[in-house]
Chains A and B, each alone.
Chain A
């Protein structure tokens, strides 16, 4: 555990090349590290620093600002229950209490079997479908206590593996820029002129 794997280093270099400055790839690479190990390890942060030209302290400095990065293992399924206004008006507190009892952990805790981590989350942008939750960033809308129990049962039984990947994986689709189609990133100091199309009467 764990520097980035060879395959991930290849992906990382592809991502870095898309930005005019390598450091911009920091957050995408932290996601890649979390995807690999389920959380962000110290070794991975040192490795990312090497790749983007930053110290490991700078990488940790950035990473620790953001809620989604975890620096210790969390459950395979991270359940975030929204507690901001619209969800609170529609019963989020009751849902959180129910979830705590069902899983036997307090908000912020992880079950002994390492399957579930339960957290209170802030607004998840599904306010009309309150109360809502996300499990590894996949939505569940208008969640009742019974829905929550069914979700936990399904996750335990492995019925949702197609829809809900293990913690660390957010989007399962990566952007691909074909070599012959990409324009390529240029450091800003190497550009002084207006883009060519600006001088034309029309581009087409």
Chain B
């Protein structure tokens, strides 16, 4: 395999930037025909499956467990542990692949589906074999037409060639993978909402407990919901083993992960980075990554883990991509999406673009989110339009507190002499959409109070009698 120089980009994969780093899931991106079965087979394709099928299923499960493959969808829960949560002796069990990628700032699953659909299919097969899952539903976001076409073509090729369907590779292992696509609803990325949608319903998250669909999921059966990138790691893991996997990154965050860095940086792109050790400073300022802020401007703030994540500033640049450290610093790594704002950014307006997103995407099930999200959007719009008052600022906090009681997590700030409030938050809603509507507002208010103070009119009391101005 050729070694791409540190900042290679490929015209056939817009957005992706290669580098001199281990590449577990993006190893085929340099080929223009990376999505074909022919290219896949020429580059170790389906060899991981063959290796897995040559061993007992429980051994494969153990291998994934010992590699600590963290879920790449947002919560970072280890896949092997998740598979183990299915109740003993209850069948059938299903695999639902979460390809409903819609978190603001995030895109890696789309690239993995467009550029290497066979790798994903191979990952699905390995997961189903290891965890005894008897049917797989591959749920792709509705708006991703090219990903749907590439996965459909790949599945058709794989069925015809005997990699999917009855008696795979001539073995006792049989599995159907059903391509399914959504129709536009962010909340469906939440795993119980995804299952509702797959059952033909409105995509609203289910009440918890049970906390994991591994206990009660699709059609009331044990169901594993895994993210696309998580599954894409499995073929490499089967070929190279858990020791090789954990040799990359750190003990708590092994392997690599894909991160999209967008906004005001010189070279925005999707990078496969080493988990656990790469810091935000490396990523935003490193020459082999984004190369710093555009036009030589200063960094103002960045969103470290998708639109739902509380913001960081330059004080947190040395935090690595490691869940616990990011949590202690007041945010989360989420879905691997960094959005960078430079000093020219209108902070209230930037927060509004995210709050509007979550208000728009609320499914309407929980009152604090359905009502609160819209309130937050309206109040913040008023402030951005220059018509807000200082009472509006207090109102934002009050509405936010009704969604998330207690202290909302935020980063520390040397400039303001603030300590961090660690992640996570308490919440009055079933899922994370409601808190996510408040996260950008809380970050903006706490870290940049002066940007709001300059925007609102001070009005400490409401006049009760009309006072005629003296001429």
| B55–A202 CB distance below 8 A | yes
A-to-B contact residues, CB < 8 Å: 18-21, 23-28, 30-31, 52, 54, 61-63, 65-69, 80, 83-86, 88-90, 121-130, 134, 136-139, 141, 170-178, 180-186, 188, 191-198, 200-204
| B184–A68 CB distance below 8 A | yes
B-to-A contact residues, CB < 8 Å: 14-15, 50, 53-57, 89, 91-92, 101-107, 109-110, 129, 132-135, 141-146, 148-149, 152-153, 155-156, 159-160, 162, 164-166, 168-176, 178-186, 197-203, 219-221, 260-264, 268-270, 303, 307, 337, 339, 341, 345, 349-350, 353-354, 356-357, 360-361, 363
| A25–B200 CB distance below 8 A | yes
Which residues on B sit within 8 Å (CB–CB) of A128?
15, 107, 260-262, 268-270
| B144–A202 CB distance below 8 A | no
| B56–A137 CB distance below 8 A | no
| A178–B160 CB distance below 8 A | yes
Given A173-B149, A177-B159, A195-B91, does the pair A30, B183 have CB atoms closer than 8 Å? Answer: yes
A66 to B107, CA, bound (A): 21
Which residues on B sit within 8 Å (CB–CB) of A21?
199-200, 219
| B144–A181 CB distance below 8 A | no
| B103–A90 CB distance below 8 A | no
| B152–A89 CB distance below 8 A | no
> Assuming A28-B181, A204-B53, what are 5 further A-B pairs, CB within 8 angstroms?
A19-B178, A27-B183, A61-B202, A197-B172, A202-B53
| B91–A203 CB distance below 8 A | no
Across the interface, name the chain B residue whose C-beta is closest to A198. Answer: B132
| A62–B91 CB distance below 8 A | no
A138 to B146, CA, bound (A): 8
List the count of A-B residue pairs having beta carbons below 8 Å apart: 254
A170 to B147, CA, bound (A): 11
Q: Which of A86, A122, A172, A186 contacts B262 (CB 8 A)?
A: A86
Given A23-B200, A186-B92, A191-B92, does the pair A84, B176 have CB atoms closer than 8 Å? Answer: no
A30 to B183, CA, bound (A): 9
Q: Which of A62, A84, A130 contacts B354 (CB 8 A)?
A: A84
| A83–B353 CB distance below 8 A | yes
| A86–B141 CB distance below 8 A | no
Across the interface, name the chain A residue whose C-beta is closest to B269. Answer: A128
Given A28-B181, A85-B353, does the pair A125, B107 have CB atoms closer than 8 Å? Answer: yes
| B104–A137 CB distance below 8 A | no
| A137–B144 CB distance below 8 A | yes
A178 to B163, CA, bound (A): 13
Which residues on B sit within 8 Å (CB–CB) of A62?
200-202
A191 to B135, CA, bound (A): 12
Which residues on A sit within 8 Å (CB–CB) of B198?
24
Which of B105, B107, B143, B203 has the most A CB atoms < 10 Å from its CB?
B143
